[in-house]
Amino acid sequence: MTRALIADDEQHLARYLQEQLLALWPELEIVALARNGLEAASQIEALQPDVAFLDIQMPGLTGLEVAQGIEGPTRVVFVTAYDEYAVQAFDQAALDYVLKPIKTERLAQSVKRVQAALAAPATEPGPGLAQALQRMAPAPAQPLLRWVRASQGELTHQIDVAEVLFFHADDKYTCVQTAEAEYLIRTPIVELAAQLDPNQFWQVHRSTLINLAHLAGTRRDEASRLFLRFKRHERELPVSRAYVHLFKAM
């Protein structure tokens, strides 16, 4: 039986990955769910799993640093929010990578690749992996966004992001919705997501970021589509299928 470890500081994502892996690979044994890089490194050393699914950005040690410190036979699959241009550097050297949000079809491909690699004779990793890991190392953390300057008519307002219910891309602008009013900025959703606290702001659609602090609840319609409701605001927002798993525990 193949033994695997999953490391992700967002435990709901770790559990979701575990469920998806076991559905695709029933014979797989998940020996541990590590909550940070230090725990992952310690458990890999103690348990010697065949494969480790490592998130890249974790407290303590990044997934890259964990991978660089592995001395046993454990192979690595990176689970990352980086786009394909960033991961191309090590695609040929690492066992595999899976982009977030995780898609079942892509994970199935990864499972087949892992199975094939584990069935083949073991080989020593070449210098290409080490060089690629260095190129993939996350840049120093930037300060989180705390304020946005947004327009409303002829006036420009400075808004505390804690007061924002959600950001929603609309044509050429991004709408900034608070409980009291709607404002406009030109910053794209993808740039906002990179600057906001991921524990507070979740992307639920390619055009929408929500503030969990203002979330009142969820609703499903007759077609099982998921919608979000907010405190002190009547508008409901849809959740795209790629992000529905984030609310599975709610």
- The b/e string for 179-200 (b: 16+ C-beta within 10 A; e otherwise) is eeeebebebebeebeeebeeee
Q: How confident is the model at residue 229 (pLDDT cuts 50, 70, 90)?
A: very high
Collect all residues with Cβ–Cβ distance below 8 Å to 158 and sequence separation of at least 6.
147, 148, 149
For 49, counting Cβ atoms within 10 Å of its Cβ (0-12 exposed, 13-18 middle, 19+ buried), the class is buried
pLDDT exceeds 60 at position 200: yes
Least confident of 39-53, 64-78, 157-171, 229-243: 64-78
If you average pLDDT over residues 70-74, what whole number do you get? Answer: 86
* pLDDT tens digits for range 17-40: 999 999 999 999 999 999 999 999
| Calpha distance 131→187 (Å, rounded) | 34
Eight-state DSSP code of residue 90: G
CB 54 within 8 A of CB 32: no
- Which one, of 106, 62, 69, lies nearest residue 97 by Cα? 106
pTM of the predicted structure, to 2 decimals: 0.51
Q: How confident is the model at residue 241 (pLDDT cuts 50, 70, 90)?
A: confident
pLDDT exceeds 50 at position 41: yes
CB 107 within 8 A of CB 21: yes
Q: How confident is the model at residue 123 (pLDDT cuts 50, 70, 90)?
A: low
**Domains by residue range for the chain, with CATH:** 3-136 (3.40.50.2300), 147-247 (2.40.50.1020)
In the chain, % of residues over pLDDT 70: 86
119 by DSSP, 3-state: which?
Answer: helix
